[in-house]
Chain A
Amino acid sequence: DTGVSQDPRHKITKRGQNVTFRCDPISEHNRLYWYRQTLGQGPEFLTYFQNEAQLEKSRLLSDRFSAERPKGSFSTLEIQRTEQGDSAMYLCASSNIPSGGILGEQYFGPGTRLTVT
């Protein structure tokens, strides 16, 4: 049994470049979340998928950010034209809502640390 995995773990890029991160959730989980965490702060919600459908996006997710979950399994988060303010840890989490609708806890991956120079 594997947990949530993310790739790469670290990414250094120059301002203006595009970057893409990948998240592989726990296999039976139908919900996938992206969060961003800056130094000294708690994670902040970016977006959420239920299966392949992106159902909610935070106001933090500017039009330079796009996320996909094409087959309801892994997800990608792309940032276009990166800015120094995008430097943060990008966390992916997955959870499951079993029948009955009881909220399941979210399990987090190790994160991708992005540094924009």
Chain B
Amino acid sequence: DGGITQSPKYLFRKEGQNVTLSCEQNLNHDAMYWYRQDPGQGLRLIYYSQIVNDFQKGDIAEGYSVSREKKESFPLTVTSAQKNPTAFYLCASSPDRETEAFFGQGTRLTVV
């Protein structure tokens, strides 16, 4: 089936460790996005990529890094510089800049 796969669904890490969240899509979409959601809040854009080997910062990029080496993959690294990393992380993709985005099921990261 075509779709966006985020893994794992739940992730636990110790404070001070970097952690990488996976996002893979087989929809042949050019654009991919990472969002963060805190309890009771809407989503906020972290990074986005319109094309392979290119990406831009969103509204809350500090403490995060991304890469886009392949069209189908857009991993997000939460670094130790991110002060409040515990959150629900959502990946999305869209075919182009005009079309609506489709979301994965999210990864819930807990840092202890």
Whether chains A and B associate is no
